[in-house]
Amino acid sequence: MTGLSPHFVRITLRGDALDAFGTDGFDQRIKLVLPLGDGTITDVGFTDEQVIEEGSWYARWRELPDVKRNPIRTYTVRAVRPDAREIDIDVVRHPALPGTELGPAARWAAGARPGDRLVVIGPDATSAHSHVGIDWHPGSARRLLIVADETAVPAALAILERLPEDAQVDALLEVPDRADILPVRTRADALVTWLDRGSEASGPSPQGAVRRGTGIGAKPVGNVPAAPAKPAAALAVAPARPGELLVPALERWTAAHPEAYSAAIAAPVQLDDIDIDTERIWDSPETPAHTPFYAWLAGEQAAIKRMRRHLVTDTGIDRGSVAFMGYWRYGVADID
């Protein structure tokens, strides 16, 4: 385990089977089967080729009694090193809310030690389905928008690292604290705006909040000063809820850059209401709309719901040009 910032920790997983781990990258998701409190993992056929081929392990897992059912959580792969049989995942550590306890994933991340065992469910590079678990599907679009809170920042940074140099991308990334701003590497023409909830004021932090990069070769994105989002007298206290800075930041972005998404405008769509406490928002078109613009948004459910409505209903952007993913729900351990 390597601490990256006050709220981010990198966990390196090592195992012989990882020599064939898929390397398609971008926002590649994997599932981790976490150990029970006594360190055990109930085998539901994780190493049985027929069970894996059928995908029946999940049904078997659901049928287990609570005391035998290991927690399963989803993470983004940050780096893959097949030769070393290693993968990295970056985990964000949220404190427990008042009156609540840490969920199983947070407890695992806090207590993980070298040598601890778990099960990784992810892509096999030798399989025709090695791309499963990737929701970044821009097609031929080269004008790109990435919006992510801290739970999706690892995926956003992984995407930025793989973008081609002819891509032009704006990224709005929200983190709990200014000290959580992480290095960015990309070949693309990128403008990355960091929004931190630890500042006294909402909007981009004045130091190091906006980073820009152009040119050939993956390289760190350099700093430029950020203009304040509002006059100083009008600045409000930063809200504590994750995603609350992203919503107004996205609204400002669409107001300032209509030329970026004008070719993706379609008829406004009235979206079905979603109960964000019980149903996960996951609207990710596998077949892109073949417009020059593509947006990828991931983070806390309530914020994603508001931003989805803003882009699709209020702004009229084609749903095929945008991927929306509710990675988590504030105050809820997990959503099935």
How far apart CA 19 and CA 14 sit, in angstroms, is 10
Residue, of 59 and 49, whose pLDDT is higher: 59
Q: What is the pLDDT of residues 185-210, one digit of tens each?
A: 999 999 999 999 987 444 443 333 44
Q: What is the pLDDT of residues 55-108, one digit of tens each?
A: 899 999 999 999 999 999 999 999 999 999 999 999 998 777 777 777 788 888
* 324 token code pair: 């929306």
Kindly report which listed range (63-77, 115-129, 169-183, 310-324) carries the lowest average pLDDT score: 115-129
pLDDT score at 228: 36
Give the relative orientation of helices 246-256 and 301-308 as an angle to the nearest 10 degrees. 20
pLDDT score at 130: 67
- 307-314, Cβ contacts within 8 angstroms, sequence gap of 24 or more: 307/147, 307/246, 307/247, 307/250, 308/271, 308/281, 308/283, 309/271, 310/247, 310/250, 310/251, 310/254, 311/250, 311/254, 312/268, 312/269, 312/271, 313/268, 313/269, 313/270, 313/271, 314/268
Average pLDDT over residues 23-50: 90
In DSSP terms, 192 is beta-bridged to: 171, 211
How far from 270 is each of 65, 95, 234, 317, CA to CA, in Å?
A: 41, 36, 33, 12
Question: What is the set of domains in the chain, with CATH numbers?
Answer: 2-121 (2.40.30.10), 143-328 (3.40.50.80)
Terminal-to-terminal C-alpha distance of the chain: 28
Q: What is the pLDDT of residues 138-158, one digit of tens each?
A: 999 999 999 999 999 999 999
Please name the amino acid found at residue 35.
P
Q: Which pTM does this prediction carry?
A: 0.86
pLDDT score at 105: 81
pLDDT score at 334: 66
pLDDT score at 208: 38
Mean pLDDT of the chain: 85
CB crowding 152-191: b at 16 or more within 10 Å, else e: bbbbbbbbbbbbeeebbbbbbbbbbebebbbebebbbbbb
Q: What is the pLDDT of residues 110-120, one digit of tens each?
A: 888 888 899 99
* 156 token code pair: 């956003």
Q: Please report how many Cα atoms fall inside a 13 Å half-sphere around the Cα of residue 305, on the Cβ side.
A: 15
pLDDT score at 221: 52
pLDDT over threshold 60, residue 168? yes
Residue, of 237 and 8, whose pLDDT is higher: 8
pLDDT score at 335: 56
Q: Which residue has the tokens 């203009």?
A: 227
* 45 token code pair: 């056929």
pLDDT score at 230: 35
pLDDT confidence band for 219 (50 / 70 / 90):
very low
Q: Beta-strand (E) ranges in 206-256?
A: 210-213, 219-220, 222-224
pLDDT score at 152: 97
